[in-house]
Amino acid sequence: MKTSESIYLDIRGLRYHVRSWGRQGAPKLFMLHGWMDASASFQFFVDALKGDWHVLAPDLRGYGQTQRQGSDTYWFPDYVVDLDCILEHFQPEAPVNLVAHSFGGNIACIYSGSRPQRIARLVNIDAFGPRAEGVKPARLEFREQTPAEKTQVEVPPKRYAEWLDRIKKGSKFRDFDAFVDLEKRLAREHPRVTPERLAFLARHWGRLREDGRVMMATDPHNAQNDGIHISVRMDDAIACWNRITAPVLWLIADEGAMKSRAKELANGGAEQRLQQFRTRREVHLPETGHMVHIEKPELLAQLVEEFMTEKSA
Amino acid sequence: MKSSESLYFPVRELRYHVRAWGPADAPPLIMLHGWMDNSASYQFTVDALKQNWRVLAPDWRGNGGTQWAKTTYWFQEFLADLDALLDQLSPQAPVNLVAHSFGASLSMVYAGTRPQRIARLLNVDGYGSPDWRPEGMPERYVRLIDLLKKEPRLRDYPSLAEFEARLKQQHPRVTPERIAFIARAWSRVNAQGRVELLADPACASNFSMQFSSRPDDAMACWRAITAPVHMLLARQGGVIERSDDLSDGRMEQRLANLRTADISWVEDCGHMVHLERPEALAARIDAFFPYVHPASPANTAAQPS
């Protein structure tokens, strides 16, 4: 197992933790983890890399060892701004190679369209953008609503009200007697992941508290992601995706989002989104769930290394 | 001048300051200030009210006597603050709201989100956010990134007299006495003896609030409002200042989203109605809100079901 070191940065008043593997001075590879994850889960991917890379992976705000905000809601655009600060710190001049999974992929895609000149190459892993739930077709297709669409239940006030109700209730994670109990829990959620990897993940997704119990490292307020959904809209995301100029390798886990979000992504929903990326090349990963970097780290490493080292057209 | 008292409430992670005028058992009226303003500016309006209301005016996060937020000033944060605050100010009865500018835009969204919590809403020159299209989103993200990366600064002044001179320039219709009052209410003298604004410098740009408040989301909320709304618009106010996105019938388009709205105009008045024409605002308040004690049966009957 390749060892990582921890770098701490002050990003907009928060103490950010960035995990670093490999040789200083080697070509850099920036990694963004997803919702309810942390940088440590890229360990297996890093172990499978063959080339000489300097891998840098932040724990996003409210995750892993990065400081919590101290408030009850996390907002999508804050992550985009944080990403810009992190990239500027490590690689202010040259455009970066970015690999991003799920929620991290959504951040990376919006960012890549907003600051296209900052991105050399982007690997987007199973990240299809905002939920279309309740988003009217007119918004997706840039046209006037039909009379029938106009009478649909309005989404924004409903979403706001649900969010307001949720923060009043508060968010808590259960804690565990010991890491093995967390492992058992994780095994249920991630049936494809080996016990060794689960034991590793439990120790990074969980944290030993002073009283000897094991708590989740993630801020529970991140588990309720209403704020994230409120603050990124489909039409805005599409406008950003359209502006990406860097080559994008789009990895689709056939048993990941395509299954869990089948309602929006089946029947052309996924293609409609993919088409907004002009510079993409997509690869389907059969028999792979959403957590590609944990389930198939060797395959991911191979695809990423091929893509990052190929000659630009 | 009617005297006010200061109340403090825990609102989410912050300590909120609420300015209160009038007897505690009088019919309550909640007054919300706008961007880069604070509750004290309602003093002149309160002085001009004929009815003896219990006026409760919070300072928004980052403003006046309320704590500064450590997080970004997103539009929706204020929405949740208002929700938490109303739970404490009026846990049962729907409230009568007077709201200016940003406070008004926010109140309209809130009134559509929690229609059962608002009895009546007087909107003072609040139109919602600029009419931005999705196509401009990448540029707006760049602007947001550049804004939020910078250490925010607000200029300070060598003396109150110079701050007053600056305010006079910005608000030429406001009398010198009122300028002198708000200069003191909006600022403090810092350790270096200079006069600085009370507001969090991170609030000095309202771009993060505009960024996070899209007009079509807001309009969906406007359409869900059930309370009677009165739009009190300043003839030389928001429409003039924002002719780009409110001219050519676009303001009327927004207003058409309201089920029940009366519109009236304050003539010869700019955006800061409560500073320029507080008597006109007070008269409108006394006329628009039924002066009924919250516990009385008449008021209960008047509440929306």
- Concatenating the DSSP letter of every residue in B86-148 gives HHHH-SSSPEEEEEETHHHHHHHHHHHHSGGGEEEEEEES---S----GGGHHHHHHHHHHHH
Task: Read off φ and ψ for residue B290, nearest 5 degrees.
Answer: -65, 130
Q: Identify the pLDDT of residue A151.
A: 57
Residue B302's pLDDT band (cuts 50, 70, 90): very low
pLDDT at A89: 98
- Are residues A73 and B76, on separate chains, in Cβ contact within 8 Å? yes
The pLDDT value given to residue B305? 40
Q: Is pLDDT above 60 for B33?
A: yes
A50 touches chain B (CB under 8 A): no
Residues 23-82 of chain B whose Cβ lies under 8 A from any Cβ of chain A: 69-72, 74, 76-77, 79-80
Task: Please check whether residue A114 touches B, CB under 8 A.
Answer: yes
Give the per-residue pLDDT at B304.
44
Asked if residue B297 has pLDDT above 70, the reply is: no
Q: From the list A72, A161, A235, which residue is nearest B12 (CB)?
A: A72
Mean pLDDT, consecutive 10-residue segments, chain A of 313 residues?
A: 97 97 98 97 98 98 97 97 98 98 98 98 96 56 64 77 94 95 94 94 96 96 91 92 98 96 89 96 97 97 97 67
| Tens-digit pLDDT profile for residues B57-77 | 999 999 999 999 999 999 999
Q: Between B112, B134, B148, which is nearest A157 by CB?
A: B112
Chain B partners within 8 Å of A110 (Cβ): 141
Per-residue model confidence (pLDDT) at position A149: 64
Contact B1, B69 (CB under 8 A): no
User: Which tokens sit at B237?
Assistant: 């106010």
- In what helix (H) or strand (E) does residue A159 lie, and over which residues does it extend? helix A155-169
Tell me the average pLDDT across B278-301: 82
Q: Per 3-state DSSP, what percentage of chain A is helix, strand, and coil (rounded to 5)?
A: 45, 20, 35
Q: What is the ipTM of this complex?
A: 0.93
Q: Which two tokens stand for residue B101?
A: 């500018």
Q: Is A235 on the interface with B (CB under 8 A)?
A: yes
Task: List CB contacts (< 8 A) between A144 and chain B.
Answer: none
Closest Cα of chain A to B128: distance in Å? Answer: 15
Q: Are A164 and B83 within 8 A, CB to CB? A: yes
The mean pLDDT value for B179-205 works out to 96
Any chain A CB within 8 A of the CB of B84?
yes
Put simply, the answer to whether A239 touches B113 (Cβ < 8 Å) is no
Could B149 and A85 be called an inter-chain contact, meaning their C-beta atoms sit closer than 8 Å?
A: yes
Q: Distance, in angstroms, between A88 CA and closest chain B CA?
A: 11
Average pLDDT over residues B119-135: 92
CA-based Rg of chain B, rounded to a whole angstrom?
A: 19
Per-residue pLDDT for B303 more than 50? no
Judged by a CB distance cut-off of 8 A, whether residue A155 touches chain B is yes
Q: Tell me the pTM.
A: 0.94
pLDDT for position B244: 78
Among A75, A231, A236, the residue with its CB nearest the CB of B134 is A236
Nearest to A114 among B69, B141, B211 (CB): B141
Which residues pair with residue A32 across a beta bridge? A100
Q: Kindly report which listed range (A60-69, A259-268, B133-142, B171-180) carries the lowest average pLDDT score.
A: A259-268
Q: What is the pLDDT of residue A49?
A: 98
Q: CB contact, 8 Å: A72 with chain B?
A: yes
